[in-house]
Amino acid sequence: MENKDKKAQLSELMDTTMSKIREMVDANAIIGQPITTPDGVTLIPISSVSFAFGSGGSDYGKSVDKFGGGGGAGVRINPVAFLIVKDGVTRVMPVAMPAYGAVERVLDMVPEAFDRVESFLAKRKEEKDIF
């Protein structure tokens, strides 16, 4: 019977933690409430939500009736874009451009560099075939 009681305690701990996460993360955190400006433009915020969750418990001490447990969660909400509705036309406006460093630039240039090298080699081969 003790084992079932400990499982119930752990289950209750996990249920409480998950219910708190449900309170923090709902559909309104991802698709926000529409905002209407005085000139008739409607803005709808769009966000990215990530969360992590951990929970656990164990017996401790010399007495077997002692139970210790803990749980935790983390939530991250990042604004991504706005849907802009004006005169029946909907547009997506990103909040910020993605970070663009040297590595990203090099990776973006690789396909173009391959095309140029391929073109150069094809020209060289053509020239050899002509002469």
Of 46-50, 68-72, 97-101, the poorest mean pLDDT is in 97-101
Specify whether 80 is located in the same domain as 102: no
In the predicted model, what is the mean pLDDT of the chain? 76
Q: According to the model, what pLDDT value does residue 42 have?
A: 92
Specify whether 40 is located in the same domain as 76: yes
pTM > 0.85: yes or no = no
Domain that holds residue 131: 97-131
Q: From CA 58, how far away is CA 10, in angstroms rounded?
A: 9
The pLDDT confidence band at residue 33, using thresholds 50, 70 and 90, is confident
pLDDT above 90 coverage of the chain, percent: 5
Q: From CA 77, how far away is CA 26, in angstroms rounded?
A: 11
Specify whether 71 is located in the same domain as 83: yes
Distances in Å between the Cα of 62 and the Cα atoms of 38, 69, 104, 126 are 68, 16, 57, 85
- Please answer whether residues 23 and 50 qualify as being in contact, where contact means their C-beta atoms are separated by less than 8 angstroms: no
**Over the stretch 1-18, which tens digit does the pLDDT of each residue have?**
455 576 777 778 778 877
Specify whether 101 is located in the same domain as 66: no
Specify whether 80 is located in the same domain as 124: no
**SS3 sequence, the chain?**
CHHHHHHHHHHHHHHHHHHHHHHHCCHHHHECCCEECCCCCEEEEEEEEEEEEEEEEEECCCCCCCEEEEEEEEEEEEEEEEEEEECCEEEEEECCCCCCCHHHHHHHHHHHHHHHHHHHHHHHHHHHHHC
- Please answer whether residues 87 and 39 qualify as being in contact, where contact means their C-beta atoms are separated by less than 8 angstroms: no
Side chain identity at residue 118, one-letter code: E
Number of domains in the chain: 2
Specify whether 90 is located in the same domain as 38: yes
Residue 74 has pLDDT above 80, yes or no: no
Residue 103 has pLDDT above 80, yes or no: no
The pLDDT confidence band at residue 38, using thresholds 50, 70 and 90, is very high
Specify whether 72 is located in the same domain as 123: no
Specify whether 12 is located in the same domain as 62: yes
Specify whether 101 is located in the same domain as 85: no
Beta bridge partners, 56, equal: 70
